[in-house]
Amino acid sequence: MNRLGKTVRSYLVFCGLIVNIALGYAVFNFGKALTTFDSLPSVLTAIAGRLNHPYLQPVSDMMNSASLYLDDSVYHLKPFAREDWPMVGPNFSTSFRIPKDTITTVTVSTSAAFVKALKVAEPGTSILLEDGEYSLKGKRFAISKNTPSALHPITVAAKNPGRVTLLMNSSEGFYLNQPHWGFTGLRFIGSCKRHCEHAFHIVAKASNVKISHNEFINYNAAIKVNGLNGYYPDSGSVTFNHFYNRNPHNTSSSVTPINIDHANHWYVSSNIIRDFVKTGGNRVSYGAYIKGGAIEGIIENNLVACNTSATDYPGSRVGLSIGGGGMTKRRDNAKFEAKNVIIRNNIIFHCNDVGVYVNKGQEALIHNNTLYNTSGIDVRFPQTNALVLNNLFSGNLRIRDNATMVADYGNIILSRGYLRNSEPMGNIFKAPEIGNFSIKEDSIDLHTDATTYPNPNNDNVTDFCGKTLDKDERFVGAFSNSKGCFQP
């Protein structure tokens, strides 16, 4: 009996120790979060996201519950409607014309014929898929070993854009290791037992890949780009696509629809990126990021909606990021995650963490973004030096862990209510909670306090609403004029 009593006492002491460690850790994070997050509900959510050890799960769940109780919830009040966003995402009516430099056209109507055509394609080939569903099964799908060129690329396209569905149960999807391939007009649906990892794994010498006017459904990281064996797939583009998951992904894998590692000069524009909720592992997900020592990328004119449901899932969802997730193996042993990356003209909303995150981003340029129902912009770590200009958002602009803010001009930053996390941007736009960012009243001026629109590369730039921007243009947020841009 005495031995049993000692065992019980030891057990109780052990349980008490675990509980006190959990509470102490929570209190420590609470104090730390108070200095970096702008409202009590967001503080609680931030702490809960960090308590991802199984022993700390009860404390995490308690804090998430408290956050939900306190928060004046702002969420997407209706099902997401593709037609509400005519300026972004795939346009199947105009997305494809057979390239003028096509030498050979191959038309396929079965899965077997399609897989074979991929393996034997010559430079200058256009592979056209007839209407229908194609069931593709296997770990990955290899492409031809023949090397296309800028003059003679290989194109894979729906004969009638939007009418071809690729049902894929592979973990990696198409494995691209050759340059100058393009895919357009297709619907990719991950049909794995749990969650498919990638629709495309783009590696090594696969430079100048073009992925445009497609739809990607149910992938952890639909587009995955990384170096291999000392080669890097530079200068690719991801434009006018629609990425989303039908349900949260309970996985420890990275949930980031566009995941670009190591590769320079990537261009990500005019995509819809939404509903990328991660409920497993560290429960942190991102809409898109560039990292791993990459140089000179542009992320512009995208719509990012972290969560369009009425459910506020646990975890943290970040809109767009330079260096999010972090890597230890970076290109050329770089000390930065990315250098000279531009994030501009994006609308980012319904993210329970920051809309834009800069993590070890050297010479980062973050400008003319509109962030609604996020906690703001986060600039972090000594390797980061950033220009943050002409952004419109509520929450905070946080400079953390010895990051350097080179310039902070022209931003309109609105304070959220501390106790209830209320969102003040409804005073500017007509119905931002459902994506109508039309200016509420003509008297509201988003130009006067702006600094000149930065264009360091003298690019031909359009804003989110498609207006070509003149030299010396000035405006705050993602667009110069909202008339005709958003559905009523």
For the stretch 308-330, pLDDT in tens is 999 989 899 999 999 998 898 99
pLDDT value at residue 17:
63
For residues 133 and 472, the model is more confident at 133
Average pLDDT over residues 393-398: 94
Structure tokens at 375: 């906690």
Structure tokens at 300: 């512009």
Q: Lowest-confidence range among 26-40, 63-77, 271-285, 364-378?
A: 26-40
pLDDT value at residue 457:
86
Q: Assess whether pLDDT exceeds 90 at residue 212.
A: yes
Q: Lowest-confidence range among 36-50, 127-141, 264-278, 440-454?
A: 36-50
Q: Assess whether pLDDT exceeds 90 at residue 2.
A: no
Q: Assess whether pLDDT exceeds 80 at residue 219.
A: yes
- DSSP three-state, residue 124: coil
Average pLDDT over residues 363-367: 98
As its CATH architecture, domain 82-439 has 3 Solenoid (2.160)
86: left (phi over 0), alpha (psi -120 to 50) or beta: alpha
pLDDT value at residue 67:
72
| Residue 130 DSSP class | P
Average pLDDT over residues 189-196: 92
The number of angstroms, rounded, from the C-alpha of 105 to the middle of its chain's C-alpha atoms is 35
For residues 51, 55, 61, 64, the Cα torsion angle rounded to the nearest 10 degrees is: -10
Q: What is the pTM of this model?
A: 0.88
Question: What are the start and end residues of each CATH 2.160.20.10 domain in the chain?
Answer: 82-439
pLDDT value at residue 458:
87
Cα separation of 139 and 266, whole Å? 26
Q: Are 22 and 56 in contact (CB under 8 A)?
A: yes
- On the CB side of 137, CA atoms within 13 Å amount to 2
pLDDT value at residue 38:
61
Q: Assess whether pLDDT exceeds 60 at residue 455.
A: yes
pLDDT tier for residue 64 given thresholds of 50, 70 and 90: confident
Q: Assess whether pLDDT exceeds 90 at residue 188.
A: yes
pLDDT value at residue 36:
54
Q: Assess whether pLDDT exceeds 60 at residue 37.
A: no
Is 265 buried (19+), middle (13-18) or exposed (0-12) by CB count in 10 A? Answer: middle
Picking from 306, 256, 308, the residue whose alpha carbon sits closest to that of residue 281 is 256
pLDDT value at residue 10:
66
Q: Lowest-confidence range among 3-7, 194-198, 264-268?
A: 3-7
Residues ≥6 apart with Cβ < 8 Å to 244: 80, 216, 217, 272, 273, 274, 275, 276
pLDDT value at residue 11:
60
pLDDT value at residue 228:
97
**Radius of gyration over every alpha carbon of the chain, rounded to an integer in angstroms:** 24
Q: Are 161 and 95 in contact (CB under 8 A)?
A: yes
Which amino acid is located at 171 in the chain? S
